[in-house]
Structure 1
Amino acid sequence: MAYPIARHRRLRGSEALRGLVRETGVSVNDLIAPIFVTEGEGVQEEISSMPGVYHWSLDTLEKELADIASAGIKAVLVFGVPSTKDAIGTSAFEENGIVQRGIRKIKSLYPDMVVIADTCLCQFTDHGHCGVVHRTDGGAVIDNDASLEMLAKTAVSQAKAGADIIAPSNMMDGFVAAIREALDREGFVNTPIMSYAVKFASAYYGPFREAAHSTPQFGDRRTYQMDPANAREALREASSDVEEGADFLMVKPGLAYLDIVRMLRDRYELPIVVYNVSAEYAMVKAAAMQGWLDERAIVLETLTGMKRAGADLIITYHAKDAARWLQGN
């Protein structure tokens, strides 16, 4: 039907009416808050490119956890910033590695908090790549299969520490299968894998690399992270992870890739996760600090767009603020 029979504005006349017909909603239950845990004592160090986001040592971590819990957020994603690094990222899978100790600390303070462990090597290797590097006459090559062994060991150590979900972010071929096999072998058959299934080689990661101290010391990650121009390849990546036993599928970054979120949502029944990444956060924060935009309105509109595209869960550095705004605080 067309105007004047159809008057679409009839359903927009008041806030109450708009609420009745609203198709998409964001809830605090949709939000996952990232945490950066670091070595040392008394550390609460703001990350310069991510205002409001901090490095926390284990003795100060309770302050951040209390803030997250008071906002009603039920899940955190743990990143570790170690003091020692080597060629294969040994501290990623040590029993007393920073991530493992961070997980145990969180679970001791908030047993019901869902703890998701980022499973990668880049923060723990001295070269900053997400796998084992072999030097050749032509340069350096990331050894996919040797990397899988290290990643599987890391996942098992995180599960032993108490992680509820393993979230591998390395983009090696076969990483879900390798981690699933290792977890099952060690008795963690009920530990889900939240796969970074579609992770693009994006310029939106800059502030995170400062936060995680994970900038590659040579080259880049384009031989294993995806070309931002490709969508069909994203479906192939996701399909492989589903076949290998992934329990969640993640798209990273978020804003420039909502078409990929929709494609996965239309094809798979698994929960879809989107990562509202560091530069997406930093751009909003920087503009808000200049008074150029309404931070609350922009953040909630962005999160709604991610949900509308098909995401079930959103990892975001805005999580605490968004949770309070959603609850009217």
Structure 2
Amino acid sequence: MGYRIAVIGATGAVGREILKILAERDFPIKEIVALASPRSAGKEISFGDKRILKVQNLETFDFKGWDIALSSPGASISSVYSPKAAKAGCIVIDNTSHFRMEPDVPLVVPEVNPEDLKKIKRNIVANPNCSTIQMVVALKPLHDLFKIKRIVVSTYQATGGAGKKGMDELYIQTKSSLVGDSISINNFTKQIAFNCIPHIDKFMPDGSTKEEWKMNVETKKILDPDINVFATCVRVPVFIGHGEAITIECERPVDLAKAQKALRNAEGVILFDKQEDGGYITQIEAAGEDASYVSRLRIDPTVPNGLGLWCVSDNLRKGAALNTVQIAEKLIEMNLISKR
């Protein structure tokens, strides 16, 4: 026996990854349905090694009797159909930005704040932004030890964070550059091939971008409301995997050996930190993996109680699909959801 699972936005990059991870982790499924827009209805999509699912129309689907919806169709679509599924009694784990900062919707990373799942009021749980997820997983054990009061982070975010169209643009521009063809810019504000763009999402009134704002407010909601975050988010010519250079300033004295031990023992973290050529993890090595990898751990002598580190993770897995599935697993583990 298992649960009746609906995957909303199943034909997108994250939706396909959710289906893949559900199969990989042998999630307890009684029945599963793939949902997408009317134009995708009737298409076939893989689930595991042997099963093929026929995509059903999200607009006409009845969620009554379904246990869990894993939703990643885009914020505007989610704003309509996640509440519809929740009203029908389905627990919705929403991967879009729409519900994250609503005060009565828990924003959860299972390794960091699973207890917030007990606060579900509207049958909706929000999945955080990809860049926030990997950072708070890495910082949680350090916060427990030293109490972080300030974070300065620069991100190096893959084009996969902009979906398939972002990855396609990197591929097409790279090929055009190498053969001398003209460059077409459609999805980013400047050429992304062989370039870095310090601009993700729209600009805010204070000059920050919305991606930078997300890292600030989401970290406060997930980890500690008293932490201040200053982020600079940069799109880089990588297909999958976000890198982050993070400096923290803590209230208590920082001990490097204790920090290393805490990270080695932390759930969801792999510390790979050798002070030698290649003794660190990069985006290409993190692609397809589940952990937040931490390298380049060192004391920052420029501030009191400072520590610096490098963190990388697969933005499509831990930054989106995997965290969504892990929330569902945690709900079951904590007996917060029952089978129909």
Superposition TM-score, scaled by structure 1 size? 0.32
Higher share in strand: 2
Superposition TM-score, scaled by structure 2 size? 0.31
Higher share in helix: 1
